[in-house]
Amino acid sequence: MKPETLTLQPFQAPVKGSICLPGSKSITNRALILAALSEGALTLEGALFSDDTRYMVTALQSLGLKVDADATNKTITIIGKGVAFPNNCADIFVGNAGTAARFLTAMLTLQQGGTYNMDGSAAMRKRPMRGLLDTLETIGAAEVVYHGEAGFFPFTLHTKGVPGGDWAVDASASSQILSALLMIAPLASSPVTLTLQRETVSQPFIGMTLGMMAQFGQTAQANSDLGPFSFAGSGRYAFPKGGYPIEPDATAASYFMLLPWIAGGQLLLRNTYHIHLQGDIRFSHVLGKLGAFFDVEQEHLLAKYPAPKHTGITENFNAISDTFLTLAAITPLLKSPTTLTGIAHTRKQETDRIAAMANELRKLGQQVVETEDSLTVSPDLAKMQHLTRETPVAIDTYDDHRVAMSFAILGSHNLHGDGRPWLTINNPMCCAKTFPHFFEELQKLNP
């Protein structure tokens, strides 16, 4: 039976050893789309096995594609069929997986005469889809019939094939909306020029999408990662080898990059040196302000803090917003205020992440000021020690894996100096979204 709560055991000795991180969710789900739109077999190596990727695999199977997943060997083999899917009718459920929701919706419109019933979890029904759906209807790729509030799940897609022309999209709510359109643009029936109506967020994810499209043989003509993007149309995807390696998850790395600051010692993050598709690896630069130093050992990074710093910082997290929670959670251990900005769009992700972090930090006695786009935390270590002296404080996770993992790192700190547990995580299994074995891996590192 899965635990409903988990009380964390603080580290009483410096961390040591190594961690093997799961594959990147963002890369795994993009690779599944690109492989499905190619022709022939491709094996994803080091793929992530989590809720989000399982929703994607199940959806592709419901379209009649052959997908074999081997969790033991962390491989997924898919036989792509190009732009024609065997099944032109299907019921597709995406859970709370934003990548599956946006990428599949766009991909399905390549099928002429398809009817696809689309739905997600209660949380997914609140996440923005309008920018993508409006564009698909405007260009004539689909008719959308809503079964609830317009612009949100659930809906039925009546797909018509993807024409060329001038496309315009509002991707200000999520970079995944732009990525979804980029991946189908080369396969349109004639040339495409795709223009952003408003600036998007998490721009490095656009670079990831473009980089992976190029690996599969389709390169955009563009002046920058903000476009406009031009494609010749009538293209095809193909990866030149039989195996596609998935990078370790850079966002997952953020928690373990910070762990030696929390517990002392050093930690080897295996196979992370050559991460280049994921912008969140830049979180290591933010940690430099806390005294982080990263040695390179072959393919690995060794995280350590020779002279740890505890001064609060101000940082714009717009480009690496998934990692703002990692830093926000440990702000009570700093000695001056910290302000994190550029994060307004995270209010519309798995949960309202700014509000979630503010609520839980206030439970720990911290002074928190939130604006639409920022979070400022003024630390009060003494109050946190007082509030947790007798009984651990329970952290609500809002069914958000990143809230759970971020506070788990805070709870690993030996706050009272005697190894006394002082933090409990409610619904720890929400981590199954991207890192099912997170807490087991964290416990293995606790000497």
Contact by Cβ (8 Å): 38, 238: yes
Count of beta carbons in the 10 Å neighbourhood of residue 391? 10
The two three-digit tokens of residue 158, written as one number = 């009546």
Beta bridge partners of 193: 166, 230
CA 49 – CA 442 distance, rounded (Å): 18
Range 289-293 contact pairs with CB under 8 angstroms and sequence separation of 24 or more: 289/313, 289/315, 290/258, 290/261, 291/261, 292/257, 292/261
Beta bridge partners of 338: 377
**Alpha carbon distances (Å) from 440 to 271, 429, 444:** 20, 11, 6
Contact by Cβ (8 Å): 259, 16: no
Residues known to be catalytic: 322
- DSSP-assigned letter for residue 352: -
CA 423 – CA 411 distance, rounded (Å): 5
Give φ, ψ of 332 to 5 degrees.
-60, -20
Contact by Cβ (8 Å): 23, 405: no
DSSP structure string for 241-275: SSEEEPPB-HHHHHHHHHHHHHH-BEEEETT-TT-
